[in-house]
Chains A and B, each alone.
Chain A
């Protein structure tokens, strides 16, 4: 067919015009399509919750006590699976690589709600398992198998964090644990849960890639640096475990605190749990077993409380170290006779002798000299009957009956003076005794040394909980407690070092009286006596090898103090004083 040049030009013109029109039409259609409208309006967002990584917990020298590990949520995009018909392939791949059950996963996919686009097959899958499945999926993609029934298209892996404690059960009684819902239970994890967990952010994430910069950054939770020294903590746990084995005690508690500033250097009690395996909680802590006896269980401490009675008596001027007392073996307070621990009469004693021999009769007499009002006022000033405010969840109050209470009787003044009829937690005793070791200033025990947030380390200042006694009283009693241990030739003494301390053997109250066979053995001590760097509290519940604290708890103090002198770089007194004199 021969076309005239005019027609040829017109045809070309028409063709080019048509092409132009098609291009313009396509541009307009793209720009006005539903997808483009969504993108242009920026309305296509996915609601996503971004959980910040939980703050880490370190000991005072930067050893990680609680961190986070990556685990995976494995899910499937149901729409993609319906298109590719690859449910069997996915279930098989997960069963082979990630250890999931083939039948279970198939059932979940087949019985999924048809209105849903995405379902979670399994969460909290360990990284080692999930990463095998991820690698297998990548292999298939590399081989070009990206769709169809033999592909893993639609299988999704979402990484997130889970709490992990690299030291296992070390310091678990004070750390607590975190469940899968990122909630802290017990100890530091519960007390500082809101700080550690950070603030989860529910955000609308735009699908429009040009708006990617709008996704907010979620700040991780606050990191905590504890006052704990990992080496001391580990040593205390080892010593306590050995002691429980040797003494046959039902349970044990050890606290090590710096009496100058209230920093807890170690705290342990039994039983303890590996927080990585917190599901065993109910098995390890049956019924109402306290998670941390050091703060959560009050008990009648017995003679260790005598140091507070003596401090009160000295501070009120009721007695002096040289004040004499004739011990006839019995004293009647409130119409009830009180005897010594051995039932014997110890004759003429001064106050040092009363402490050295731990004479109940003498201390009941001292309480009467102090007077009811003064005695209970001082006990309250020492913090008895109140929580210490330590930064741990689950602190118990203890019980200090006061005159006027329905269950208080005049005899309580006599028995309370030697630690009977009054219940305290070990941490309460440590706080109260810090006044004696710290020139009359009582410091609040605490576990968090500093917080780290947004790269800023904020050190937390220690708190003075009161000054129940004068520095002079503290010095006098400190000297009395050191001398009494020396005179007694206590098993707590350490060659080369002078320490101060007091034993406490307490009968255990049962319905209608006290258990005649079982005791609680306690010891409180500190060293070096002239410049205390540590204070130790030991409580052994129902020891079997001996019921006496001087025989079971005092040697443990010696063992602990020997370790502490090394770990805290404290030279023997002679060397230390020589160095100080240079």
Chain B
């Protein structure tokens, strides 16, 4: 048994096609708009991706350059330290002192004076003192009772 044909629906569709034929550019504009909207979304997503990727790459490059700069500065510090040390070396200082007319003092030329509060030079300190070794730590979880724990939680 065949399915009965829906006559009103056919009439409705015929009317639409008839309308289209009367103004086909409307439909085309709709399609173009849809495509452009799609393309816009794609371009937006791609642009954002590109921008984020570029920023990441630039940040990475900046980190690389910063690290290179750190290394260069470390080299400069090292070179300058050596230059300063060379200028202040015993040989250099002795030569400079001699050029300025200084001569080593003879033992009988010294005058010993007691200066109150004077302290002798101390050994150089080039870093922080080593931290004291930490003693064994027992977490409160191992020592407190359930009641203590509840009280502590309550206080917190």
A residues sitting closer than 8 Å to B (CB atoms) are 5-6, 9-10, 12-13, 16-17, 20, 23-24, 27, 53, 56, 58, 60-64, 67-70, 127, 159, 161, 164, 166-168, 170, 208-213, 215, 223, 225, 230-231, 234, 449-450, 452-453, 455-459, 494-495, 562, 566, 569, 571-572, 575, 579
Contacts and interface: CB of A to CB of B under 8 A. Distances in A.
Instruction: Indicate the member of A64, A70, A167, A212 with the most B CB atoms within 10 Å.
Output: A212
Interface stretch (B9-17, B74-82, B134-142, B146-154): B74-82
Interface residues of B, number: 53
Given A64-B81, A209-B64, A159 B121 contact: no
A455 B129 CA distance: 9
The 8 closest A-B pairs by CB, nearest first: A62-B124, A457-B127, A209-B60, A166-B85, A64-B85, A234-B90, A166-B86, A212-B60
A209 B79 contact: no
Interface of B: 24-25, 28-29, 31-32, 35-36, 39, 42-43, 46, 56-57, 59-61, 63-64, 67, 71-72, 74-76, 78-79, 81-82, 84-86, 88-91, 94, 105, 107, 110, 112, 114, 120-121, 123-131
B28 A10 contact: yes
Nearest to A578: B114
Given A13-B31, A70-B75, A455-B128, 13 more contacts: A17-B35, A20-B42, A23-B42, A62-B126, A64-B81, A67-B78, A69-B79, A161-B75, A164-B82, A166-B85, A211-B60, A459-B130, A569-B120
Nearest to A458: B130
Contact of A16 (B36, B56, B67, B105): B36
A350 to B, nearest CB: 33
Given A62-B124, A164-B82, A566-B110, A456 B91 contact: no
B56 A23 contact: no
Contacts of B32: 9, 12-13, 16
Contacts of B79: 69-70, 127
A61 B121 contact: yes
Contacts of B42: 20, 23-24
Contacts of B78: 53, 67-70, 161
Instruction: Indicate the member of A166, A209, A225, A562 with the most B CB atoms within 10 Å.
Output: A166
18 contacts: A13-B31, A63-B88, A64-B81, A64-B82, A64-B85, A67-B82, A70-B78, A159-B75, A209-B60, A210-B57, A211-B60, A234-B94, A452-B126, A453-B127, A458-B130, A495-B107, A562-B107, A572-B112
B112 A456 contact: no
A67 B86 CA distance: 10
B31 A23 contact: no
A10 B28 CA distance: 8
B46 A27 contact: yes
Nearest to B56: A210
B60 to A, nearest CB: 4
B81 A225 contact: no
A167 B127 contact: no
